[in-house]
């Protein structure tokens, strides 16, 4: 019969050796952690010809290190319709990345802009930095604030930026968010809870079908909006100069096209009619 207690007594030396082996098992190999990528900068030229410089995070799993085509197209649309969409308006941006549309709205004379993204410290710090360094903003730049916000969660802290929180925002900005199919429910819930229930309030949803074979899933977002009592109208179809991701598959023209939709409360639109 084998001795099941054999070798259970260890010397101090063997214990030390075992600890070294055990520790080594939990040590990451060399180069396991990639070095942090530095911030980059990019410029956006306003229709006025003025240059807006943005800092982008070096890398982020939430894709905040890109200046997306949808955000650029939405920013242009805001400028073309500034009296209706920016002047004196209260504005909330969701999933803002570098915050380009929000900065443009503030430059155009919005009453209050709240620019939000996932509550990741680096993303929110970068948004705050872009606000602090934007020389085109009205001074002092108290009209715009950055905050972390998780779609679908309580919007109390976001609405608290408004003079009358219960009324909601005049304009919501959503640029290139629809590829997050699993987040559609939470995103639509946030739209419904933060959009003012007035006849001229609207959410501007701009996106590109970067994966053309999943375009129907992108568009399913608008079906959820309709179920919430919102009406959906297409307002923009803009072909951008370049695709964002050259190595992606699918129709290149479609991957270069930004589609813009306006989402408003259906009952209030019908009342005005």
| Residues annotated within a binding site for S-adenosyl-L-methionine | 68, 95-97, 117, 151, 175
What sections of the chain are H helices per DSSP? 12-25, 69-80, 82-85, 100-107, 121-132, 156-159, 184-194, 215-227, 252-255, 266-272
Q: In whole angstroms, what is the distance from residue 257 CA to residue 53 CA?
A: 24
Token duo for residue 64: 């905040």
Q: In whole angstroms, what is the distance from residue 61 CA to residue 19 CA?
A: 35
Annotated binding site: 68, 95-97, 117, 151, 175
What is the dihedral angle through the alpha carbons of 89, 92, 96, 99, rounded to the nearest 10 degrees? 30
Cβ–Cβ < 8 Å for 228, 192: yes
Token duo for residue 95: 């999933």
Token duo for residue 37: 């990528």
Q: What angle do CA 63, 251, 187 make, to 5 degrees?
A: 40
Cβ–Cβ < 8 Å for 75, 179: no
Query: Whose CA is closest to 113, among 104, 123, 124, 122?
Result: 104
Q: In whole angstroms, what is the distance from residue 92 CA to residue 194 CA?
A: 8
Distance, first Cα to last Cα, the chain: 93
């Amino acid at each position: 019969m084998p001795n099941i207690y054999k070798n259970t007594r260890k010397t101090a030396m063997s214990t030390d050796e075992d600890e070294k082996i055990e520790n080594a098992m939990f040590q990451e190999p060399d180069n396991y952690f990639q070095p942090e990528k530095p911030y980059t900068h990019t410029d956006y030229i306003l229709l006025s010809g003025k240059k807006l410089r943005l800092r982008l995070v070096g890398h982020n799993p939430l894709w905040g290190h890109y200046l997306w085509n949808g955000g650029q197209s939405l920013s242009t649309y805001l400028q073309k319709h500034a009296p209706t969409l920016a002047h004196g308006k209260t504005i909330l941006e969701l999933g803002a990345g570098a915050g380009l549309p929000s900065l443009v709205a503030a430059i155009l004379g919005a009453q209050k802009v709240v620019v939000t993204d996932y509550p990741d410290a680096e993303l929110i710090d970068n948004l705050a930095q872009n606000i602090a360094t934007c020389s085109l903003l009205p001074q002092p730049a108290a009209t715009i604030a950055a905050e972390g916000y998780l779609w679908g969660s309580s919007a109390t802290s976001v609405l608290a930026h408004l003079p009358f929180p219960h009324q909601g925002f005049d304009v919501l900005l959503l640029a290139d968010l629809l590829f997050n199919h699993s987040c559609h429910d939470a995103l639509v819930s946030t739209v419904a809870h933060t959009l003012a229930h007035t006849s001229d309030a609207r959410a501007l949803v701009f996106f590109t079908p970067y994966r053309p074979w999943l375009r129907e899933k992108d568009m399913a977002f608008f079906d959820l909006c309709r179920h919430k009592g919102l009406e959906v109208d297409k307002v923009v179809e803009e072909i951008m100069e370049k695709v964002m991701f050259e190595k992606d598959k699918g129709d290149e023209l479609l991957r270069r096209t930004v589609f813009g939709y306006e989402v408003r409360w259906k009952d209030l639109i019908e009342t005005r009619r």
